[in-house]
Amino acid sequence: MTEVERPVVRPRRLRATPALRRLVAETSVEPRHLVLPMFVREGITEPVPIGSMPGVVQHTRDSARRAVAEAAQAGIGGVMLFGVPERKDPLGSGACDPNGILNLAIADAVAEIGDALPVMADLCLDEFTDHGHCGVLDARGRVDNDATLALYAEMARAQADAGVHVVGPSGMMDGQVAVVRAALDDASHEDVAILAYSAKYASAFYGPFREAVASSLEGDRRTYQQDPANALEGVREALLDVEQGADLVMVKPGLPYLDVLRAVREAVDVPVAAYNISGEYSMVEAAAERGWIDREAAILESLTAFRRAGADVILSYWAVEAARLLSSSWRR
């Protein structure tokens, strides 16, 4: 055997045992960092499994309440509610109706949990419009930015009246954060916080979500969501939202955009969230189903990657399960 020079520096020393690795881990995921997105569907009596997202359901109002209680029990950071209405129309009227499914679900969640768990809601028209776009359309069929803003203002008021703690404007209309902030303040809802979906990209990885909310979209959202080629623009969007009063900003999707997450984390001084979206979830679930990947290890590695890239908050369909895994995971 040839003589080799013996290394003086041995990074492997600190990797030798689980306890040493735990001691020097640079980042960790805690249950409090995780937010569970939930779908609440109008007019059903049993939870409906979502085929494209194995393990995720569309909740009834009752099962949603139970899931919110369970989320609090698991010690996660919050829930993010999405509504799936029975009827849709061009203006997405269900979004602003106090008896619309999302506003009822907010009130249910708050009745269940009070202030013990932040109740957040998606503030966007796409689940409520029959054309499936995040805003209303003008005479030529284009998404009309400013006409949409007026509806977001109304939707924000309705969600705040229902008791929401945090609204999540996700429609990528210019100026949406300022309009939502003003609408909340005018209605004496100064305490309601804004989690702005700031850098939201037009992504193929939203695919499985479209079934979750029974989306009626044809075509794409490329005139309002961002081009996946652009990172600086994501930072610009985040800075604009902070200027307009965002309390937290978000980067979405997550794993394919960790560079944008890092850049936004360095550019702003508010908490940064990242959304571990449906496609990221379903790819792992599908591969695990086939025995191609270690499901639990892949879940924890994904969540750790978000933290390493700078996320303060992570929205994930695995939130509750991960919170449980985390309490026993350090020995791995």
Q: List active site positions.
A: 200, 252
The 3-state DSSP class for residue 116 equals coil
Closest CA to 317 of 1, 59, 10, 28: 59
The answer to the question of residue 124 lying near ligand PBG (CB under 6 A) is: yes
Per rule CB under 6 A, is residue 258 in the interface with ligand PBG? no
Element (H, E) at 81: strand 78-84
277 interacts with ligand PBG by CB under 6 A: yes
Least Cβ distance, residue 80 to ligand PBG (angstroms):
9
User: How many residues make contact with ligand PBG (CB under 6 A)?
Assistant: 10
Smallest Cα–Cα separation from 252: which of 202, 303, 178, 194? Answer: 202
Stretch that binds ligand PBG, among 5-13, 97-105, 120-128, 181-189 (CB under 6 A): 120-128
Q: Is 316 in the site for ligand PBG (CB under 6 A)?
A: no
> In this structure, what token pair is assigned to residue 269?
């001084």
Identified binder of ligand PBG from the candidate list 42, 108, 126, 144, rule CB under 6 A? 126
Q: Which stretch binds ligand PBG (CB under 6 A): 19-27, 119-127, 149-157, 227-235?
A: 119-127
Q: Does 148 bind ligand PBG (CB under 6 A)?
A: no
CA atoms within 13 A on the CB side of 91: 9
52 binds ligand PBG (CB under 6 A): no
**Quick one: 73 or 223, whose CB is closer to ligand PBG?**
223
- Whichever of 60 and 176 has its CB closer to ligand PBG, that residue is 176
CA distance 304 to 61: 32
Tell me, residue by residue from 217 to 236, as one string, x for binding to ligand PBG by CB under 6 A and - for no binding.
Answer: ----x---------------
Min dist. Cβ of residue 52 to ligand PBG (A):
10
Neighbours of 331 (CB within 10 A): 7
DSSP string, 143-182: B-HHHHHHHHHHHHHHHHHHT-SEEEE-S--TTHHHHHHH
The Cα–Cα gap between 308 and 324 comes to 20
Q: From CA 256, how far away is CA 252, in angstroms rounded?
A: 9
Applying the rule CB under 6 A, the residues between 180 and 219 that interact with ligand PBG are: 206, 209
Which residues in this chain contact ligand PBG in the complex, by CB under 6 A?
122, 124, 126, 134, 170, 206, 209, 221, 277-278
